[in-house]
Structure 1
Amino acid sequence: MNYDQFNQFCGAFPATSHVVQWGDAHVWKVGGKVFAIGGWGREKNLPAYTFKTSPLNFDFLSDQPGYIPAPYFANRGMKWIQQVDTAGDLDEELQYYLTESYRLVALGLSKRKRDELGIQVAAIPERK
């Protein structure tokens, strides 16, 4: 997945916003809260994607090839993972984890905030 595909995928979720910040990273938010970051790879010319996970997925992915605990997040105790193998073999997995990250962050918003944004709990993407 390249950055254009990443941005298109993340932009399809309801009530999201996109900003380029933190050293030209593509940052996706829902309700002002980050759910996905495209950038910060070990090598500047290769993409890397960072997303929030459940504690179980964090433990699982931390030991899987192509994934690392996310720099700047995981070392602060947050359950964020970075996909560093972006050759295309893990694109389907990445889409699943980006969807899950959006869901986790959106569900973490207050009911009032979700109502303001027009996000219905039933409309939040379910796990596939």
Structure 2
Amino acid sequence: MRKASCGLTAKQLEQCCGRWPGVTRDIKWGGDLVFSVGGKMFVVTPLDGTEGGRLSFKVEDERFLELTDQPGIIPAPYMARAHWVSVIEPQRFATAELEAFIRQAYTLVRAKLTKKVQADLGAWPAPAEKS
């Protein structure tokens, strides 16, 4: 039986969301890899894997408290008011679970873009295949 992988590296994050419509990637604040859609950030991680591979991303308003009550997840510094969380212990979570959080973050941020920008982005990405 194959053990489920845990955590999510910057390279895996790139593979996960780098090809979604409208996603751009850049480096901010000296060393954070930032993925955005329509110019709006949806996930941030240290490019060099420091800080235990921390991942910060947008979550649904109603899930913010539920998620930050879990071990390994805290309100994201400076971004908590916008309902962002930081997974400070990503190895506690299956890679597939983290990828689902990132996909939801993309969906949330994309849905807040203007209808014109959304239309310009093209079709939404198909749901990830279960393996």
Identify the TM-score tier after normalising by the shorter chain.
Answer: 0.7 to 0.9
AA at the equivalent of 2:114: S
Can you give the 5+ residue segments of structure 2 that lack an aligned partner in the other structure? 1-7
Instruction: Between the two structures, name the one with larger relative contact order (CA 8 Å, sep ≥ 6).
Output: 2
Residues 4-36 of structure 1: CA distance to partner in whole angstroms, max 9, x if unpaired?
Answer: 111221203211000011121010010001011
**TM-score normalised by L of structure 1:** 0.83
Equivalent residue for 2:59?
Answer: 53
Residues 32-89 of structure 1: CA distance to partner in whole angstroms, max 9, x if unpaired?
Answer: 010111129xx94521001101112111111001111101111xx2100011112263
**TM-score normalised by L of structure 2:** 0.81
Q: How many residues align?
A: 121
| Percent identity between the two aligned chains | 31
How well do the aligned residues superpose, as a CA RMSD in angstroms?
Answer: 2.4
Structure 1 counterpart of 2:15, from 8, 12, 15? 8
Can you give the 5+ residue segments of structure 1 that lack an aligned partner in the other structure? none
Equivalent residue for 1:112?
Answer: 116
Structure 1 stretches (4+) deviating beyond 4 angstroms?
Answer: 124-128
